[in-house]
Structure formats: structure tokens, C-alpha cells
Structure 1
Amino acid sequence: MPELPEVEVTRRSFAHAIENATVQAVRLGKPLRWPLGCEPDHLSGRRVRSVGRRGKYLLLEFDQGVLLVHLGMSGSLRFAPVLPAPGVHDHFDLVTTQGTLRLHDPRRFGAVVYVDSLADPVAYKLLGRLGPEPLSDDFDVTGFQTRLKRHSSAIKSVLLAGEAVVGVGNIYASEALFLAGIRPTVAAVRLSRPRVARLHAAIVKVLGQAVELGGSTLRDFSSASGQAGYFQLQTMVYGRAGLPCHVCASPVRLIKQGQRATFYCATCQKP
């Protein structure tokens, strides 16, 4: 699944190119997770002011209204002046004066939803309960600790839930917990202030590095310009079950938490 770094990399790869473009047409393929929320021709003539992001949602802000785009489990975007005819897994085309933005989504868990504004109840339902952005000034140690103290669940599961901080998906949660020296099974409420501070710094560092390296391409992720990511080539624990830890040489362990794979080093990460 594309995580926050992949979504941010995608945003950066086409945001400038589509800025100030005027929508000429919208093409819909097979139904996605949620309906568009308006008739396709309702978007014709709108001008793209900017492309933002909230968690794993891309926000295409028009001169009137906002388009919320989620890549789901297997989705990816392409933006180019000219694209080939849509394939069987191409389910949304936004044709503009500066090129076509296309959502390719084989599993169709992605979504493209139009709202009149971010104050719309539909937008609030999707975005309103998300935690602070980890790469923004809103993500501070004190607030992070306060939110963690509300949860007796394992810290890895709390990070994935998105209330304490948004967008720390499976790959980056494992990596941040390793960097902070925290066992993924420890209860969030038990973390001391120094450990919370280390985890806060690790989340910022890991996600920042991932964005700079173009995200992680584990299967077929690439940016809207077709570039693959390289963060997966330098992971410390994720995907390395049974291999020696880069720090202590103990074998990296693999467990399941909430049906998700968790990788950690039992020597470097303390309960």
C-alpha cells in the first residue's frame, strides 16, 4: 500500500506541472471505493489552484471545490501531456489543458471524491479525525505523548491507527521503532517522556529520508512521472526477517500484529 512518503512523492512529482491547468473533461472507469460525488462534467472549466496532501489523501484544490484522491492498496497516478488509451485498470482521468492525470488501480480500493470545500461533511468524515502531520510543526513531543497516553495497545498498532500521528504506515513504523530502540509490542501508555522523544525524532527522520529517496517500491509503486523509490534498499529491519541486524548482528524477528507484518531486533529494541 502506498504510505505517506509515497503519497508525498507522488504529489511533488506533478503538483507544479498541473498548477493553473483548466479541467477539460473527466473520464470514469469501473467504480472505485466511493462515488465521485458529482457528475463528471460538473468539473469541466475548473482551474487547479494547488495540490496539497492530508495524511494519505491528495487534495486537488480548484478555484471552486476540492478533489480528494486516495491511492488505496495498489493505486498510482500518472500525469503527462499525452497518455495512451485507458487500460482495464485505469479508472479515472482528469483531462486538463496541461496534461492528463490518471488513476491506475488494479484492486479498486482507491477513491476520487469531490467536495465543495474541506468543511463539507464528507471531507470531515475522511480527514477530520486524522492526527497531526509528522513532517509539520503541528507534530510536537508534548502533544504526541499526550495522545499516546490514551492507548494501552501496542505502540506499533497505535502508530498505524493514525490518531497519535497520521501517515506512519507499516514499513515506516517498523523502521522508526527500530531507530528509537523501542519494541513494537510495548504498550503506548508505558512509554516514558525520553522514549517518546526518541520515537518522535525517529518518525520525523525516517519519513523525511523516505520522501527524499522517492518512497519505497516494494511491488510497482512509482511517482506520477514514473520514477521508482529507493528507501527499501536501506531498511534496517523491514523485510529482513532472519537476517543479521545491521547494528548487533542478532537475527531480525518477524511477528504479526493486527494481520500486519512487524519486523524488529529483540536485542536493540527494548520492551
Structure 2
Amino acid sequence: MPELPEVETVRRTLNELVVGKKIDHVTVHLKRIIIKPEEIGEFCLLLSGETIGSVERRGKFLLFMMDDYVLVSHLRMEGRYGLYDALDPLEKHTHVVFHFTDGSELRYKDVRQFGTMHLFPKGRELEEQPLKKLGLEPMEDTFHVAAFRAAIAHRSTKIKPLLLNQEYIVGIGNIYVDESLFLAGIHPEREASSLTAKELAALHAAIVKTLGEAITAGGSSIKSFVNGQGEIGMFQHQFKMYGRKGEPCYSCGQPIEKSVVAGRGTHHCPKCQPLKLAKAKK
């Protein structure tokens, strides 16, 4: 699933491709992609004549900001956007097409068909689901150590599933949690409430550093991720932990271990991220 760095990369490329384009009409080939409004005809009618002013991001969601409406798009497992000429053949698994007045088309393809689209009147997008309950945005100035600590420090939940919970911090999926916890030297099964102030500060810095480096690298292409221009990400070549089961840790040489935490495959170094520190006192 595209995580924050991948969605941010898509956002940036879409801003280069579609900002300023006016929608002539919309074609929906798979109705279940459209969640709001329920009527596909209404969805298409409301978007007709709208101009894309910018493409923003909230967590793992893309926000197409238009004249009167905001389209909230979740790529889920394998959703992707691409800009085409209207005469280009329609590829398989193309489910939604935004036809622009200049003869180009923004096409949404999704092999797994898990992606979603919600359309809101401008200004209402943050007041309703799916954006209403999202937590701290780790790439904004508001994500400072104090806010991070207030969000998670007193929770008895294991730190990994807590970081994956979008109601506390948004966008940090499985890959980047593993990478951030390794960089901070914290075992994924530590209880959040056991972390010292120093450890929380180290984890905060690790999250910001990891996500920033991943964005710079264009995200991670594990299976099929490409940005809006069809380019793969390169951060997978910088993984220190994720996907390296049995390989030596770059810091200490110990074999990396893999387990299941909260239903997710989890990688950690038994020496650099010892679980015995779980009862550390503040």
C-alpha cells in the first residue's frame, strides 16, 4: 500500500501534470470506487466544469482542490493516476477518467479495486470521514516533540501498532515504522508508556528523518508503485531493516529477525532494539 512518502510523491507529480486543467466531464467505469456521493451521475455532474487548483495531501489521502469541491482520493493497495491524451487506448483496470477541456485525460487505474473517492463541498472535507479523525501530520511544523509525546506517551499499546494507527499519527505505514523504530533503537513491541522522554525524542527525529529521506528518493517501489509520471521510487535501496530478514544488521552485524506484530510482518535487530528495555523508567 502506498504510504506517506509514496502519496506525497504522487501529489507532487500531479501538481506538475494537472493543476490549471478544467474538467469537461467524468467517466466512471467501476461504481464502487465512488463512495460519496452515492449516485454516480451526481458525482460526474458536480465535477463538470471544475478546475483543479492544486493537489494536496492529508496522511495517505490525495486532495484535489477545485473551484467548489474537493475530491478526496485514497489509492489503497495499487491505485495509480496517469495523464493521457484522449486518443490513447484505454488500458485495462482503468476505472475513472477525468476528461479535460484541453483534450488530455487524468485516468485512475486500480488492479485490486480497493481505492476510494469522496467528493465534498470545499471546506467540508475535514469535517467528515475519511479525514475527520486523522491524527498528527508528521511532515508539518505542528509535528513537534511535545505534540508527539502528548499523542502517544501514556498509551499502554505496543509502539508499532500505535504508530500504524492513523488516529494518532498519519501516513506511517509498515515499512516506515520498521525503519523508524530501528533508527531510534526501539523494539516494535515496547509499550508506548514505557518509553523515556529521550527515547520519544529519538523516535520523533527518526520518523521525520526516515519519511524525509523516503520522499527525497521518490518513495519505495516494492511491487507496483509508480508516481504520476510512471516513475518508480528508489528508497527500497536504502532499507536498513524492512524486508531484510536473516541479513546482517548494518550497525552490529546481528541477523535481522522477523516476527508478526499486530498482524503485520515486522523486522527488527535483536541487539540494536532490545525488548529487555521495555520496563525502563522515566
TM-score normalised over the length of structure 2: 0.91
Q: Render the CA deviation track for 1:20-55: whole Å, top value 9, x for unaligned.
A: 111011111123354341331321111111110001
Q: What runs of 5+ residues in structure 2 fail to find an aligned partner?
A: 276-282
Which of 37, 45, 51 is residue 47 of structure 1 equivalent to?
A: 51
Does structure 2 conserve the Cα–Cα contact (< 8 Å) formed by 1:80 and 1:225?
Answer: no
Separation in structure 2 between the aligned mates of residue 56 and residue 36 of structure 1, nearest angstrom: 18
Residue 86 of structure 1: how far off its partner (Å): 2.5
Give the corresponding residue for 1:113: 118
| Aligned 1:26-41 pairs, distance under 5 A | 26-37=26-37, 38-41=42-45
Following TM superposition, the consecutive aligned residue runs of length 4 or more in structure 1 with deviations greater than 4 angstroms are none
Does structure 2 conserve the Cα–Cα contact (< 8 Å) formed by 1:237 and 1:263?
Answer: yes
| Aligned 1:80-119 pairs, distance under 5 A | 80-82=84-86, 84-97=88-101, 99-119=104-124
Residue 84 of structure 1: how far off its partner (Å): 2.9
Separation in structure 2 between the aligned mates of residue 186 and residue 110 of structure 1, nearest angstrom: 33
Q: CA 1:212–1:120 in structure 2 vs 1: closer, same or farther (change >3 Å)?
A: closer
Does structure 1 conserve the Cα–Cα contact (< 8 Å) formed by 2:86 and 2:99?
Answer: no
Does structure 1 conserve the Cα–Cα contact (< 8 Å) formed by 2:70 and 2:125?
Answer: no
2:143 is the counterpart of 1:143:
no
Which of 228, 234, 239 is residue 230 of structure 1 equivalent to?
A: 234
- Name whichever of 12-21 and 197-206 sits farther off: 12-21
Q: Render the CA deviation track for 1:229-269: whole Å, top value 9, x for unaligned.
A: 01011100100001111111100000111221110001011
2:193 is the counterpart of 1:189:
yes
Q: CA 1:206–1:116 in structure 2 vs 1: closer, same or farther (change >3 Å)?
A: same
Separation in structure 1 between the aligned mates of residue 21 and residue 44 of structure 2, nearest angstrom: 17
- Report the number of matched residues: 270
Q: CA 1:120–1:243 in structure 2 vs 1: closer, same or farther (change >3 Å)?
A: closer
Does structure 2 conserve the Cα–Cα contact (< 8 Å) formed by 1:139 and 1:165?
Answer: no
Q: CA 1:153–1:101 in structure 2 vs 1: closer, same or farther (change >3 Å)?
A: same
Separation in structure 1 between the aligned mates of residue 188 and residue 168 of structure 2, nearest angstrom: 15
Q: Render the CA deviation track for 1:195-227: whole Å, top value 9, x for unaligned.
A: 010000000000011011010000110001000
| Aligned 1:191-210 pairs, distance under 5 A | 191-210=195-214
Give the corresponding residue for 2:280: none
Give the corresponding residue for 1:263: 267
Give the corresponding residue for 2:278: none
Q: What is the Cα-based RMSD across aligned positions, in Å?
A: 1.6
Does structure 1 conserve the Cα–Cα contact (< 8 Å) formed by 2:155 and 2:193?
Answer: yes
Percent of aligned pairs with the same amino acid = 38
Does structure 2 conserve the Cα–Cα contact (< 8 Å) formed by 1:32 and 1:91?
Answer: no
Separation in structure 2 between the aligned mates of residue 120 and residue 228 of structure 1, nearest angstrom: 30
TM-score normalised over the length of structure 1: 0.95
2:239 is the counterpart of 1:213:
no
**Partner AA of 2:10 in structure 1:** T
Separation in structure 1 between the aligned mates of residue 24 and residue 158 of structure 2, nearest angstrom: 48
Separation in structure 2 between the aligned mates of residue 179 and residue 136 of structure 1, nearest angstrom: 20
Q: CA 1:250–1:167 in structure 2 vs 1: closer, same or farther (change >3 Å)?
A: same
Give the corresponding residue for 1:16: 16
Partner SS for 2:24: strand
Partner SS for 1:25: strand
Partner SS for 2:130: helix
Does structure 2 conserve the Cα–Cα contact (< 8 Å) formed by 1:4 and 1:55?
Answer: yes
Q: What runs of 5+ residues in structure 1 fail to find an aligned partner?
A: none
